[in-house]
Structure 1
C-alpha cells in the first residue's frame, strides 16, 4: 500500500536513503521533518508499505507558478526502492501514485532529477515516460 510517511518510519527511511546516497555524510532523517512534511498541503513523503516494511519512497513537492495561470507543477525527489525489491513495479507504482495526484490538482507538468551516474534509474524513468533530453538540471549545494 502507498501512504504518507509517519514518524515511526524514520529508521526504515534512513536505511532506504543510505541505498540512494551511500556515501552521504550529511544525511539526517528526523521525526520532526517527517511530521512537518505530513502537515504541509504541498509536500508529500510517500512510502510503499508491505505489512509494516517500507520497500520504497519518494518525495513529491507541489510548486506554484505564474506562467500557466493557476496550474502548479510537481517535483519528484529522492525516489528509491529497496535494493532487494527492485524490478517488482514498486517504483512504477510510486511514480503513478504521484502522477495521479498531480493530475487531480491540474498540475501543468511533473519533473524529476536523477544523479547523472544512475543509468539504470534513467532507463526506468524513460520507460515511465520521462524525457531526459528536454532539460538539463543544475544543482548548487550549501
Structure 2
C-alpha cells in the first residue's frame, strides 16, 4: 500500500465523504448521498470556522477515511480546552487495515498541537465494535450522552 495522506477536506471530497457517512446501518437512514446540497452548505460553515478541522485520509488518490475534529475552549476543568472527534468513517475496503487507528492518532496529535487538554467523542450505543476500538486506543467510556432532535 502506498503512503497514507491525511489532509484538510475540500468541496471535491464531499461525494466520497457523504458516501462513507451513508455506508452503515445508521447512516443509510439518515444520510442522502444523492443530494449534496445540504452537505455543501454545511461544508462552507465548517470551512469558515477555524475551530473545525474536517479531514480526509487519502491513499493512491482515493478518499478512504474521514473525521471532523472540533476545538472547544471552555471554563470547566480549570479553563480546559477540549476537542471533540465526530463522524469517523473508514471506507469499507479499508476497514481492519489500521487506518482508523491512524486517523484517531492524527486527531489526538492535532489536539495536543492545538493546546487541548482532553479529547472526547461519542459513539452510538449500537456500535459496540467501535466502542471496543476506542477503548483499545485508550479512550474511557465515562459519560452517558443525550440528544434532543430539533
Q: TM-score surpassing 0.5?
A: yes
Query: Is contact 1:46-1:94 (8 Å) kept?
Result: no
Partner of 1:137: 145
SS at match of 1:23: helix
Q: How do residues 72-83 of structure 1 correspond to structure 2 at under 5 angstroms?
A: 72-83=81-92
Partner of 1:6: 10
Q: State the superposition RMSD in angstroms.
A: 1.8
Structure 1 consecutive aligned stretches of length 4 or more whose deviation exceeds 4 Å? 25-29
Offset at 1:32?
3.9
SS at match of 2:53: strand
Unpaired runs of 5+ in structure 1?
none
Offset at 1:90?
0.9
Q: Give deviations 1:63-109, integer Å, cap 9, x for gaps.
A: 11012455310001111111221111111111111111111122121
Change (3 A) 1:38 1:83: same
TM-score normalised by length of structure 1: 0.90
Offset at 1:39?
3.3
Pick from 66, 71, 79: which aligns with 1:62? Answer: 71
Counting helix residues as a fraction of each chain, which structure ranks higher? 2
Partner of 1:24: 30
